[in-house]
Amino acid sequence: MNEISGTDRLRIRPYALTGGRVRSTTELALETIVRVTGRCIIHAHELSSERREIAGLCDQPVSIVEISARLSLPLGVARVLVGDMVSEGHLNTHQATETEITPDGRPDQRLLERVLNGLQAL
């Protein structure tokens, strides 16, 4: 379950990590991609172990669902922790612009065309 080898560290009950919250204030989509910030790297030693594990995965762009799966954290917990780390400036996320997303929150024409071209090129 946990990648940390050589230790018999007990895992904390996941919801205790979020103070029982299952909803993040920012309510990020589960596919939201995050990446560590320079600020996170400087302050990594101050982070709780769960947050440090998240930061360790986010050296490369990864999504909240990937974090949840790779760290065996329930999706709701990963969402809250990542949301907090974004608010704190430890993780960066892409801010969708009006040229990407329609008013109902779905990919717009230009973004769909990029997906189409990307898939065709596979």
Partner 1 sequence: MVFKRSERPRADKPVPIPVKIVVAGGYAVGKTTFVGSISEIEPLTTEAALTSHSDGVDIAGEAAKSSTTVAMDFGRITLGDDLILYLFGTPGQDRFHFMWDDLIRGAIGAVVLVDTSRLEDCFPAVDYFESAGIPFVVAVNAFFGKMHHSLEDIREALAVPESTPMVVTDARDRDATKGTLLELVQHALALVNAG
Would you say 89 and 37 are in contact if contact means Cβ atoms under 8 Å apart? yes
Kindly state whether residue 24 participates in binding partner 1, applying the rule CB under 8 A. Answer: no
Is 2 a binding residue for partner 1 by CB under 8 A? The answer is: no
Q: Binding partner 1 by CB under 8 A: which of 36, 81, 82, 85?
A: 36
- Binding to partner 1 (CB under 8 A) within 44-103 occurs at 44, 52, 55-56, 59, 61, 63, 65-66, 68-70, 74-76, 92-94, 96, 100-102
Buried b (16+ CB within 10 A) or exposed e, 45-61: eebeebbebbbeebeee
Cα gap 122→11, rounded to integer Å: 41
The number of C-alpha atoms within 13 Å of 15 and in the hemisphere containing its C-beta is 5
**Contact pick of 17, 34, 81, 82 for partner 1 (by CB under 8 A):** 34
Q: Of 8 and 80, which has the nearer Cβ to partner 1?
A: 80
* 43 contacts partner 1 (rule: CB under 8 A): no
- Min separation Cβ 42 and partner 1, Å: 9
Cα gap 33→60, rounded to integer Å: 10
Does residue 91 sit in helix, strand or coil? Answer: strand
The answer to the question of residue 113 lying near partner 1 (CB under 8 A) is yes
